[in-house]
Amino acid sequence: MSTAHFLSVDNFTIVLRQSVFVILVAVGMTFVIGMGGIDLSVGAILGLSGVAVASLIQAGINIYLAIVLALVLGAVIGLLNGVLIAYFRMAPFIATLGTMSLLRGVILVLTSGIPIYGLKYREFQFFGQGYIGIVPVPVLIAAIIVALFSFILYRTRLGRYTLSIGSNAVAARLAGIRINRTKVTVYMISGLLCAVAGVLSTSRSEAATPDAGMGLELNVIAATIIGGTAMTGGRAVMFGTVIGAILMTTISNGLNLLGVSPLYQQVAIGSFIVIAVAASSLSRRGSLPD
């Protein structure tokens, strides 16, 4: 790999386009982790949303209606996660792990393990492959979503409630915050943004694959934590999340350009995640452990 090629405008554009999916899902994860929760079902929601929009389009449903229904599906799955966690008092790790397993099974049933190809519709391709001027449409969509949800996180009651719950749920309840409603809303946001990423991913590749989003939750959680969001909740850094997502994608891109085998790439990326998250945790703690 030449440094010139790695630092080229074309490669930077490729990295941005590839990082869009991690960014979109990580925006929702920033809310979830900032609230003191976790969502392991994000990759599965992305995959099922992609399969849903592809199946609906192939069934003759209007493309825009199919997209809306796929987004609604993601939000409904997020609603299910929120209800399980808020009203059934299930631990977020267990609830979303169960949802992940369930959705992966649904994907295999719907597709029989076979990718859905042939989504060559210009209106649909535009969302994942199009440009507005010189800006790729997925990058523009991600930028709008980051700006919108940054505003929600830092300038609205929902954002303040989310971080208050993550900081001290008991104090938040005593302050009159509707904790259950906030939890459900936050998980719905996460599910919705996963669905947006699923639709864009399917549009870009013109296909929906059963393994889409597999393992995505690891990169998304890492990007969020590396970006400065506290794993224990109460602190969320949206801009940091975006940087973390781009950093994760850049590492993968660099390893590809170096010709590193995919077998070793996973080892390298996993090692980086462990080191980066550990360093981030130590820096926030302010001192090394005894």
Segment 172-177 mean pLDDT: 95
198 contacts 66 by C-beta, under 8 angstroms: no
Assign domain 3-285 one CATH number from 3.90.1750, 1.20.1740, 1.10.20, 1.10.3470: 1.10.3470
Q: Which helix (H) or strand (E) holds 135?
A: strand 135-136
Segment 63-91 mean pLDDT: 98
Long-range contacts formed by 176-181: CB under 8 A, 24+ apart: 179/86, 180/86, 180/87, 181/86
> Band of the pLDDT at 12, cuts 50, 70, 90?
confident
Of 112, 137, 111, 124, which is closest to residue 57 (Cα–Cα)? 124
Domain boundaries, the chain: 3-285
Residue appearing with tokens 């899902």: 25
Segment 98-114 mean pLDDT: 97
Q: Does position 290 have pLDDT exceeding 60, yes or no? A: no
Ordered alpha helix ranges (H), the chain:
3-6, 9-34, 42-58, 63-86, 92-111, 122-129, 137-155, 157-167, 169-174, 179-205, 216-226, 238-257, 262-285
Residue appearing with tokens 């199009």: 130
pLDDT in tens, 188-208: 999 999 999 999 999 999 999
Question: Given this model, what pLDDT does residue 284 score?
Answer: 64
pLDDT in tens, 211-245: 999 989 989 998 999 898 988 899 999 999 999 99
Question: Given this model, what pLDDT does residue 288 score?
Answer: 46
DSSP conformational letter for 87: T
Instruction: Give pTM, 2 decimals.
Output: 0.93
DSSP 183-249: HHHHHHHHHHHHHHHHHHHHHHHTSB-TTTTTTHHHHHHHHHHHTT--TTSS---HHHHHHHHHHHH
Residue appearing with tokens 């590839």: 18
Percentage with pLDDT > 70 across the chain:
94
Candidate ranges 158-172, 250-264, 269-283; pick with highest mean pLDDT: 158-172
Q: How many CB atoms lie within 10 A of CB 269?
A: 18
Segment 9-28 mean pLDDT: 89
Alpha-carbon distance 165 to 141, whole Å? 29
DSSP conformational letter for 146: H
Helix, coil or strand: residue 132? strand
